Chain A
Amino acid sequence: MSEHNLQQRNQRTLRKLLIWAVAMFGFAFAMVPFYDVICDITGLNGKTSTTASTEGPSQVVEDRTVTVEFITQRGEGVNGDFTSATRRVEVHPGEITLVNFFASNPKSSDIITQSIPSVSPGEAARYLHKTQCFCFDQQSLAAGERKEMPMIFYLDPELPRHINTLTLSYTIFDVTDRVAATNN
């Protein structure tokens, strides 16, 4: 084989491998939407729907009681209160329930907050339907304000039998800077 041919062959192999490397770099980013799709399908990581459920429950399963617990956490930069009116409720699947959450802003400036829900066990996430939730939108809190934020939900009557307790966790984040950055 002549030297020239070999050089060409080397270049060809090199190009193929480089394309592969670049494609794999792209693949890392493709994992992001792919992950979201997987989460939607499987309820992986306890993500609940980010939009309000428009359909009501088909029936109320009176002979079954499920405990729903609420956890609230403050993310980085939030120093006000963030609690729920009750820490646990006992509901029948299909029963529409309202729970009030409270957030306060002790700062001297207005803030915008975003609450992020998560359900444990993750498997239960897609059986939790919310018809109204403060987490669907950003909530603004004026300086010194204490705000009541309702959340209305029901459990799908199809909730698997082995799930007797599920925990709905909210983390509240201060997204004021983030919103300001986007608006600019």
Chain B
Amino acid sequence: MSTAAAHDDHHHHAPTGLKRWLFSTNHKDIGTLYLWFSFAMFLAGGLLAMVIRTELLEPGMQFVDPEFFNQMTTVHGLAMVFGAVMPGFVGLANWMIPLMIGAPDMALPRMNNWSFWILPFAFLILLSSVFMSAFGAGNPAAPNFGWTFYAPLSTEYGPASTDLFILSVHMMGISSIMGAINVIVTVFNLRAPGMTLMKMPLFVWTWLITAFLLIAVMPVLAGAVTMMLTDRHFGTSFFNAAGGGDPVLFQHVFWFFGHPEVYIMILPAFGIISAIIPTFARKPLFGYASMVYATASIALLSFVVWAHHMFTVGMPLAGTLFFMYMTMLISVPTGVKVFNWVATMWRGSMTFELPMKWAIAFVILFTCGGLSGLMLAITPVDFQYHDTYFVVAHFHYVLVSGAVFSMFAAAYYWLPKWSGVMPNKLLGELHFWSSLISVNLLFFPMHFVGLAGMPRRYADYALQFADYNFWISIGGFWFGLSQLLFLAVCVLCAMKKGEKAPARSWEGAEGLEWEVPSPAPFHTYDTPPVVK
């Protein structure tokens, strides 16, 4: 047994059945757990979105009361951000980072087990309030203040279940911080000989930077919910004006976490796309070093833009200008990335296998979302766009057709490595085209209704928005159903039904992960590979 496998003394008699998963310290098993958990949360959060879209199918109140509607928007946001997107990327990190840098496992395997197994319980606590609300048990209200839980809505006016929410956010935070620490320790200490920092695949780079962001801001979120808790129960007045506090302070603390958080949800996506495009363009990535620096610049800038979420609270002009310019500045490194991807494809021998299709869709649709972000950054127009569906359109373009599409790309790209079989082509193609069309039907018209003044987070709307909302809802149901195709693809792969995948599953694929057999054996790199 070599290098860092000290934790794994019994690794040739791995437990089977439930125990294998409960007690696992293997990065591949934990990665798999994360990915399935993330997908389950994606479906659960999606189900809540279906309730939202059903109510908004027609103007007027039809299916749920506004109170329940508010709970749906809140928990949908929380489940997607903290349950689907973040754990999804952590799962990919667990699976791929050790394989990509030639490490036998994550550096802190026991902590890895912990950081995963906290998560299901965190969400059990959060979602239990939804069940109680839906079935009328106890105080019938899940958190209903929006995923941003602004004070005093979440402090003085929050339902009793707010305390469940606080506890679950604490647990999610601890899980994320442990996951992030694990990534950093692994990348710093377990790289194979010769794998210098500037030789690391970009997915590892972007995740390393993401991990630093996580450690920097998840504790701030924990601080914010702790302040909420003491405001609610222990007589403090952090956010309570009556006691000398300030509700606007909450927004500053929250968005100091919240803005880096949105980059936490997109930087790993950049890494995935930077792995896939060179493979199918059969050219090395254009501008590797500039990609690394661009990622780092985005991460640094993310700490000085938070107040663009709150232009309307009444800031001094100098403040709004500062945050406006800083926000616009972010489009420079982001633009560098987009140009690098396009330059990688330029004159490449491109083929359009499933991962590449998702990656190209990502580049186009993410850029679309980035552009509406640039519009929102302009202070005077933000006064019009603020809290309208334009904002909803913007962040769904970057999060769904951005982050989520990148994870689909990653899944199709690495499923052969994970399962040993190629993902089903027919189902995959159907999933892609169906998702691509429906996601645009779902989110594109939101720009129009938003610009026309439809506010977000309402259970009803003015009649003039009826036609658009009807089609948005149709797009929503369609997109939601399309994801069942992906479930089928995953289940088929898990059952090993499909064409057998070779070690190098894609013709142009480069990188250490393609040197090991498919499926990747339970233990890889007991002897570290030498990177030239």
- A positions within 8 Å CB-CB of B: 1, 3, 6-7, 9-10, 13-14, 17-18, 20-29, 31-32, 35, 39, 42-47, 75-76, 114, 116, 120-123, 171, 173-175, 178, 181-182
Q: Contacts A17-B181, A21-B215, A28-B219; is A181 near B235 (CB within 8 Å)?
A: yes
Q: Contacts A6-B3, A35-B249; is A22 near B219 (CB within 8 Å)?
A: yes
Q: Which residue of A lies closest to B214 (CB)?
A: A21
Chain B residues in 8 Å Cβ range of A31: 220, 223, 249, 252-253, 256
Given contacts A18-B181, A27-B219, 5 further A-B contacts (CB under 8 A): A13-B188, A28-B221, A29-B223, A31-B223, A181-B235
CB-contact partner of A28 in B4, B215, B224, B235, under 8 A: B224
Please encode chain B, from 206 to 249, with 1 for each CB lying within 8 Å of some chain A CB and 0 for all others: 00000000011111111110110000000100100111001011
Q: Which of B184, B242, B249 has the most CB of A within 10 A?
A: B242
Q: How far is the CA of A151 from the CA of B344 in the complex (A)?
A: 68
Q: How far is the CA of A178 from the CA of B156 in the complex (A)?
A: 13
Is A27's CB under 8 angstroms from B223's CB? Answer: yes
Is B3's CB under 8 angstroms from A3's CB? Answer: yes
Q: How near does chain B come to A82, taking the closest CB pair, in angstroms?
A: 13
CB-contact partner of A116 in B3, B220, B242, under 8 A: B242
Q: Contacts A17-B215, A28-B223; is A175 near B242 (CB within 8 Å)?
A: yes
Is B316's CB under 8 angstroms from A44's CB? Answer: yes
Chain B residues in 8 Å Cβ range of A47: 246
Chain B residues in 8 Å Cβ range of A32: 227, 238, 249
Q: Which residue of B lies closest to A114 (CB)?
A: B242
Q: How near does chain B come to A119, taking the closest CB pair, in angstroms?
A: 10
8 contacts between A and B (CB under 8 A): A1-B3, A6-B4, A17-B185, A28-B221, A31-B252, A45-B248, A76-B242, A178-B243
Chain A residues in 8 Å Cβ range of B521: none
Is B108 an interface residue, CB under 8 A from the partner? yes
Name B's interface SS: helix
Q: How far is the CA of A7 from the CA of B317 in the complex (A)?
A: 52
Is B219's CB under 8 angstroms from A21's CB? Answer: yes
Q: Which residue of A lies closest to B224 (CB)?
A: A28
Chain B residues in 8 Å Cβ range of A9: 189
Is B316's CB under 8 angstroms from A43's CB? Answer: yes
Q: Contacts A6-B4, A14-B185, A182-B235; is A121 near B217 (CB within 8 Å)?
A: no
Chain A residues in 8 Å Cβ range of B157: 76
CB-contact partner of A21 in B6, B177, B227, under 8 A: B177
Is A14's CB under 8 angstroms from B235's CB? Answer: no
For the complex of A and B, list the 10 residue pairs with the smallest distance between their C-beta atoms, beginning with the closest.
A28-B223, A173-B242, A25-B219, A24-B219, A28-B220, A17-B181, A13-B185, A116-B241, A10-B107, A21-B219
Chain A residues in 8 Å Cβ range of B107: 10, 13
Chain A residues in 8 Å Cβ range of B256: 28, 31
Q: How far is the CA of A141 from the CA of B392 in the complex (A)?
A: 46
Chain B residues in 8 Å Cβ range of A45: 246, 248, 313-314
Q: How far is the CA of A114 from the CA of B108 in the complex (A)?
A: 52
Q: How far is the CA of A9 from the CA of B6 in the complex (A)?
A: 14
